[in-house]
Structure formats: structure tokens, C-alpha cells
Amino acid sequence: MQNRLIGSALIIAGTSLGAGMIAMPLATAVIGFWPALLLMLFNWALATYSGLLVADVCRACPGVTSLYAAAGQLLGRPGQLIASLATLFLPYALCAAYITGAAGHLNGSLAHWFSVTLPQGFSAICVTALFAGVIVISTSSVDLVTRGLFILKVMMLVLLIGLLLPRVEPAYLNTMPVSDGVMWAALPLFFTSFGFQATVPSIVRYLEYKPAQIRPAVITGSTLPLIIYLLWVIGTNGVLPQDSLVAMQNGQDPVSALVIGLTRFGGSVWISTAVNLFAILALATSFLGVALGLFDYLAEAFRRNSTFSGRMQTAVITFVPPLLVALYFSDSFITALGFAAIALVVLAIALPVVMTWKLIGGIHGKHYQLPGGRKALLVVMSAGVMIVFVQLAIVSGILPGIR
């Protein structure tokens, strides 16, 4: 059982560690390191607590394997409908972000290294076609490709952190927000970076509904990304002057800005190679994982079979919507990650809070005890509402955003 606990914690951590890491140093450069540290700790605590709520809800509904099923048991059809819509919106928003980020990185790399300029739309179509092709072939092909890429990604991340930390200039970390109100801009992005809650129902079942195993797995699994994010941000923002990174970010695609910035200021061919590979691998593994989950969900929902024709039809409804977003909003990498936070708030905060509230009231003759009671739930729900409000305020121009 101990091996299962460790494995479960690593699954949770692996789900969180994705392409959002590339946007994190850019956000930190704009809002300053110490404010970013406070936001990161806040989002880690919020995500961990919400993950524990999801776990307790699933323990109260034996046999469920998803939030959708738990919502059906506790909230009926309205809960299932809300869960379905959020479950669709989240991967679509993430896929749009990954297509935009991958296309921008491709364009930036070609322009920087070979002085070749491609239309952003053409790069987005090429990137989408490549990943769609891997998924259409078979799920096993995605498994093999992702497994190899994930191992390489971890290796590049360890190498990068090891190379960057000795070069950190402490003065670079003593930065403050570049403008009033911009600190709020990173709140949705950082919350999305701790988005593991959808995996918790499977973890609960895997650990046989035992709280003594589930709670350490959730806490450890959410804490590992926090530690890695801190080391990553210290390494990247500690070698890049704030004004230089902000200036590059304002003039380029954010993904290529980070890669080129680390290459230029790192002064090492190892750093240049590692950061380029890490950016590609982070985008690729995140894109494949999210897109496969969406692909399978849509195939089941629309009853498409596993023939080549059926998989091609599913691929169209999986990839065309996020591709259109990437084509019409070519600088939407960070914006799309922010919109993903809205769906994540619904899945990871709103639904678990409402379901836990109902459990506290008693169901099937049983009453559920929660530390902090309903006051704690109100605090968590208020935090979720704040994240949604901030994202909507950024989009409407009320608050400054991060490009």
C-alpha cells in the first residue's frame, strides 16, 4: 500500500507540472518575485484543501470514478450538467493555450536561429495536425510517446534547475510589481498550475477509500509541484533582469521570450539546449495528455467508434475549436490558461464545496464532519469567486493582464 501512496502522490504532482510552468516566470517578472511567492503559497493551500474536499466527497460516494458521477449522486442532473460543461470547457481552453504556445515557440525559434518567419496561423495548423495525428493513430501510441517525453522533460527540468541556481543574482529577486494592480493578473494562472483535482477520484479508488493513505497522497502530491515551482522561478527570474524579461515579453510570443531570454543571459550551450527542449517537452506532454482525455470523452459522448473514420471524426470536434481560438487570438497563451482557471474553479472548488455542504447537512442518514465546518467552505468558495472575478476583470480591461 505504501507504494500505491507514493505512486498516487507522483500522479497528482505529474498532473500539475505542465506547460503552465513556462508562463510562470513571465508572470513573476511582471508582478515581482515576493508577491509571486505569496500568490503561489495561497494557490497551493487553496488547491490542496479543494483536493481534500474532492477526496472526501468521493469517499462518501463509493464506486464513483469522476466528479461527474459524484455530482450525479449528490446534486442530481443539474450538478451533472454543470460538471459536464466545465469538464468540456477546461480541456478546450488548455488545448487552445498549448496550440498557441507551441506555434509561438516554433515561430520564435525559427526566427531566432534561422531568420525564417512563418505565419502564426500556418504554425498553429502544423502543430495541431502533428499532435492530432499521434492521437488518431491509437491511444497506445500516445502512451508510448508521452511516457518517453515525460521522462525527458523531468531530466531537462532537473538539469535546468541545477544549471540555473548557481547563477542566481539575489538582487534580481528583490523586484516589485511593474504597475499597480498587476499582481492580481497571476492569480488565475497560478491556480491553473495546481490543477490536479480531476485525478483525485481515481486516486481515492486506487487507495481503496482509506483516509490514512488518501490525505498524505493529496498533500504530498500538491506540495511537490510547489517546491519545483519555487526552484524553477528562483532559477529563471534569478538570472534574468526584470526589465529585460518584461521588455522581451512585450515584443514577442511569451514562450519564445522565455526561451530566448534564458539562452541569451544564461551564457551556456547547456542552458540553451535544456531550456529549448524543456519548453517543447512541457508543451508536448501537456497537450497530448489533455487532448487525449478530451478525445476519449467526446468519442464516448458522440458514440464514435475506434475505426480510422470514427477517430478522424472525433479528432475534428476535438481539435478544430481550440485551433480556431489559436488562429483568431494568436497571443492567447496566458489568456487561455486564465480562462481554464474559471472551469477549474467550477470543478475543483464550486462543485466540491456545494457537495460537501450537502454532506454536512446529512445524507442517507449520515452526517459528515469537516474541520472548520461551513465557515471553511465559505472561505474556499469566496476564494474561487475571487479567481473568476479577477479573470473576467482582466479580460474586460478593468485589471491589467499579463500578455
**DSSP-derived 3-state class of residue 116:** coil
The pair phi, psi for residue 363, each rounded to 5°, is -145, 140
C-alpha distances in angstroms, 96 versus 113, 120, 335, 346? 26, 14, 10, 19
Task: Decide: 231 and 161 in contact? Cβ < 8 Å.
Answer: yes
pLDDT of residue 68: 82
Contacts 24+ apart (CB under 8 A), 210-213: 210/1, 211/59, 213/1, 213/4, 213/5, 213/8
More confident residue, 401 or 328: 328
Q: For the CA atoms of the chain, what is the radius of gyration?
A: 21
The top-scoring range by mean pLDDT among 107-111, 172-176, 181-185, 247-251 is 172-176
Using the predicted structure, report yes or no on whether residue 171 has a pLDDT greater than 60: yes
The top-scoring range by mean pLDDT among 44-53, 253-262, 352-361 is 44-53
Return the CATH architecture of domain 2-396. Answer: Up-down Bundle (1.20)
pLDDT of residue 128: 95
Using the predicted structure, report yes or no on whether residue 322 has a pLDDT greater than 70: yes
Using the predicted structure, report yes or no on whether residue 252 has a pLDDT greater than 80: no
Q: What percent of the chain has pLDDT over 90?
A: 32
Rounded mean pLDDT, 80-109: 89
Enter the C-alpha cell of residue 225.
509541484
Using the predicted structure, report yes or no on whether residue 266 has a pLDDT greater than 70: no
* Rounded-to-integer distance, Cα 64 and Cα 262, Å: 45
Using the predicted structure, report yes or no on whether residue 403 has a pLDDT greater than 70: no
Rounded mean pLDDT, 190-203: 89
pLDDT of residue 344: 94
Which has the closest alpha carbon to 391: 338, 350, 355? 338
352: pLDDT confidence band, cut at 50, 70 and 90?
very high
Using the predicted structure, report yes or no on whether residue 121 has a pLDDT greater than 50: yes
> What is the average pLDDT value for the chain, to the nearest integer?
85
**Which residues, in sequence order, are bridge partners of residue 363?**
366
Using the predicted structure, report yes or no on whether residue 21 has a pLDDT greater than 60: yes
Which has the closest alpha carbon to 92: 296, 313, 322, 282? 322
pLDDT of residue 5: 86
**Which residues, in sequence order, are bridge partners of residue 366?**
363
Enter the C-alpha cell of residue 223.
506540495
Rounded mean pLDDT, 217-232: 93
More confident residue, 359 or 232: 232
pLDDT of residue 251: 56
Using the predicted structure, report yes or no on whether residue 189 has a pLDDT greater than 50: yes
* Rounded-to-integer distance, Cα 303 and Cα 23, Å: 36
Using the predicted structure, report yes or no on whether residue 11 has a pLDDT greater than 90: no
Rounded mean pLDDT, 236-259: 74
Task: Decide: 265 and 244 in contact? Cβ < 8 Å.
Answer: yes
Rounded mean pLDDT, 156-184: 86
* Rounded-to-integer distance, Cα 40 and Cα 183, Å: 12
Q: Per-residue pLDDT tens for 269-316? A: 788 788 888 888 888 888 888 888 888 888 878 888 888 888 899 999
Q: Per-residue pLDDT tens for 355-397? A: 988 888 665 445 566 766 788 899 999 999 999 999 999 888 8
**Domain map (residue ranges) of the chain:** 2-396
pLDDT of residue 368: 64
Q: Per-residue pLDDT tens for 256-265? A: 777 777 777 6
